[in-house]
Amino acid sequence: MKILFVCTGNTCRSPMAEGFLNAIAQKGDLDICAASAGVLTHDGLFASENAVIAMREYGIDISPHRSALIRKEAVLDADIVLTMSSSHRDMLLFSFGSEGKSIFTLKEFLGIGDADVIDPYGGDINIYRATAAEIKNLVERLLDLLARSGKYGDEFKKI
């Protein structure tokens, strides 16, 4: 299963979500992977320094990450597309809604409302830490939901 996380610049929130999901999946030997992209970015930008620092505190290195502008191919390649805000979701539904893909905000998919994930861009390290903690919690809930649903295969029963 492939999950695509989407935010604005693909330098903070979505790379953190991708990092958490891939680290948990690798540790648990799960057949799931994450990718990420941004709706308003350029290809090749580094993850923000504070995002890298915040993720290192969890033992996850996202320093090799480079931003990617959202493309139709990435949406088509994903089983689920999860955005960090309702505006991202709405942009993708407008652009790719006819493709029949599952596009939701991360919180909407989890059934906990439609609030945006905190955007730390330009903030201090404590804002990045808060965002990383929020995303970690959401990714753990996502994996738990997938495991309980049984909808996405037996690999999640290992969680």
| Distance, CA of 120 to CA of 141 (rounded, Å) | 21
Give φ, ψ of 46 to 5 degrees.
-75, 155
| Distance, CA of 140 to CA of 106 (rounded, Å) | 12
Q: Tens digits of per-residue pLDDT, 17-74? A: 999 999 999 999 999 999 999 999 999 999 999 999 999 999 999 999 999 999 999 9
Domain that includes residue 25, residue range:
2-158
| Distance, CA of 7 to CA of 117 (rounded, Å) | 9
Type of residue found at 104: F
What pLDDT sits at residue 6?
98
| Distance, CA of 47 to CA of 81 (rounded, Å) | 20
What SS3 state is found at 85?
Answer: coil
Catalytic residue among 31, 90, 119, 141: 119
Q: Tens digits of per-residue pLDDT, 123-158? A: 999 999 999 999 999 999 999 999 888 755 544 443
Catalytic-residue membership of 13: yes
Count how many domains the chain has: 1
What pLDDT sits at residue 158?
38
Catalytic-residue membership of 119: yes
Question: Residue 110 — pLDDT band, cuts 50, 70, 90?
Answer: very high
Report the CATH number that the domain containing residue 123 is assigned in CATH: 3.40.50.2300
Q: Tens digits of per-residue pLDDT, 86-106? A: 999 999 999 987 665 689 999
Q: How many residues does the chain have?
A: 159
What SS3 state is found at 53?
Answer: helix
Q: Do 46 and 18 contact (CB within 8 A), yes or no?
A: no
Catalytic residue among 13, 89, 116, 129: 13
| Distance, CA of 138 to CA of 2 (rounded, Å) | 17
What pLDDT sits at residue 155?
44
What pLDDT sits at residue 5?
98
- pTM of this structure: 0.93
